[in-house]
Amino acid sequence: MNSKVKATAILKDNLQNFFFVLPAFAIFCIFYIYPFYKMINLSFYDWRGIGPMHFIGLANYKELMSDHLWWNSIWHAGYITLIALTFQNVLAFALALACDREIRLKRFYRAVFFIPPVLSEVVVGLIWNWILNPQMQNGQYIGLLNHFLYTSGFPQLVHNWLGDPKTALTTIAIVHSWKGFGWGFIIFLAGLQTIDKQLYEAAKVDGASAWKTLTNFTIPMMLPVILVVVILTILGSMQVFVLIIAMVNEGLVNHTDVPVTRIFSAMQNVNRFGYACAEAVIFGMILVCVSFIMKKLSDKAKQA
């Protein structure tokens, strides 16, 4: 009798405790687990969003393998990522190095560099859309960049930066880097500040040049931090999407497509939900592989 009372008490206790996680668990199951399952499930179907669903096995994946627009879009995202990894992160690292010293207005720079990353992609995209505007009105260029090039004596450089297939993707990549370097800057700076300043003094006494100190000492010390920034940059840049929508809308479809715009247009423009899900699954797997490899690398760097 007594044990029965005890058992019900424990059960009641467990139930009570479970109620604490119930709201989170319910939302998570409905809005994360179910879409996750549905995404994989739908990728085996031919479905127009409404009406009957036809099971077609791996046909979506087969089509995807030979869809050169899809693989192009992955290359585009890779190109943006490459520019972000080099241009953006080197800039972020250099600025962090500069701000690690005792310089004037340090706090001001820290605050200002931090503004672009917290602005939304829509705001950044629309502002740059205006800066890069190629049109003229009343004999003047509307866009700041072309106006500046024209008035400062380089009229031959005036260009439709976002309208020309040759420059559109690079322009987007540079704006993306402009928006993103502040994150890297802040993380690098936080990392640099944990390095003991006396070690720099010691290196100076030993007669090491500034460049030697950087390559032999600062960069190896910063390796774990650098790898974190690299992972964040890759994951962030591969998934760039809203910035492109805000900058070119769907103007240059085949030249500025990235995987997420492909997924979106498969769903929204041609109503191929199954195909969109197959694209999402493949792209998700690529990202998981990349972040897994990077994680392994960073674990190794931490051990060394």
Map the footprint of another protein across residues 120-149, applying CB under 8 A: 120-123, 126-127, 129-130, 137-138, 140, 142, 144, 147-148
The Cβ-side half-sphere exposure at 261, using a 13 Å CA radius, reads 27
State which residue, 148 or 178, has the beta carbon closest to another protein: 148
Q: Is 20 in the site for another protein (CB under 8 A)?
A: yes
**Binding marks (x or -) toward another protein, 198..237, rule CB under 8 A?**
------------------------------x--xx--x--
Q: Give me the least distance between CB of 245 and another protein, in Å please.
A: 7
- Sequence-distant (≥ 6) Cβ neighbours of residue 120 within 8 angstroms: 242
Which listed residue (18, 55, 71, 154) binds another protein by CB under 8 A? 18
**Binding marks (x or -) toward another protein, 68..107, rule CB under 8 A?**
----------------------------------------
State which residue, 217 or 264, has the beta carbon closest to another protein: 264
- Check if the beta carbon of residue 185 is closer than 8 Å to that of residue 98: no
- Check if the beta carbon of residue 266 is closer than 8 Å to that of residue 202: no
State which residue, 182 or 218, has the beta carbon closest to another protein: 182
- Sequence-distant (≥ 6) Cβ neighbours of residue 290 within 8 angstroms: 234, 235, 238
- Check if the beta carbon of residue 280 is closer than 8 Å to that of residue 39: yes
Q: Alpha-carbon distance 12 to 6, whole Å?
A: 10
Q: Give me the least distance between CB of 122 and another protein, in Å please.
A: 4
**What does the buried/exposed string (b/e) look like for 11-29 if buried means 16 or more CB atoms within 10 Å of the residue's CB?**
eeeeeeeeeeeeeeeeeee
State which residue, 26 or 94, has the beta carbon closest to another protein: 26
